[in-house]
Amino acid sequence: MLEVLDADAMRAADAHAIAHEPIASLDLMERAA
């Protein structure tokens, strides 16, 4: 079963991915869609 993240946890996960992965925030959003 997948863990459901609240808004604060999702923001933190996005910020971590942007800071630690070679991907722009727009590309991250496109990849999530």
pTM above 0.85, yes or no: no
CA distance 17 to 29: 11
Name 17's Cβ contacts closer than 8 Å, sequence gap at least 6.
Answer: 23, 28
Instruction: List average pLDDT for each run of 10 residues in the chain, which is 33 residues long.
Output: 93 89 83 78
Q: Which residue has the tokens 């942007």?
A: 18
Here the tokens at position 11 are 């923001």
pLDDT of the residue at 24: 83
